[in-house]
Chains A and B, each alone.
Chain A
Amino acid sequence: MEFEPVIGLEIHAQLLTDTKIFCGCSAKFGAAPNTHTCPICLGMPGVLPVLNRKVVEYMIRMALATHCRINTECNFARKNYFYPDLPKGYQISQYAHPPAEHGWIELEINSGKKRIGITRIHMEEDAGKLMHDERNPVSLVDLNRTGVPLIEIVSEPDIRSAEEAAAYLRRLHETIVYVGICDGNMEEGSFRCDANVSLRPKGAEKFGTRTELKNMNSFRNVQRAVEYEIKRQQYVLESGGVVAQETRLWDDTAGVTQPMRGKEEAHDYRYFPDPDLVPVVIDEAWIDEIRGSLPELPLEKRERFMRDYLISSYDAGVLTVSRALADYYEEVVRLSDQPKIAANWVMGDVLRFLNEEKKDVRECPIAPASLAAMIRLIQGGTISGKMAKEVVEAMYKTGKPPEEIVKEQGLVQITDEVALARTLAEIIGKNPAQVEQYRAGKEKVFGFFVGQAMKATQGKANPQLINDLLKKMLAG
Chain B
Amino acid sequence: MKIRLRYFGMIAESAGKNDEVLELNDGISAKELKARQIERFELPDPESVQIAVNQNLEEEVELKDGDEVAFLPPFAGG
> Are A and B associated in one complex?
no
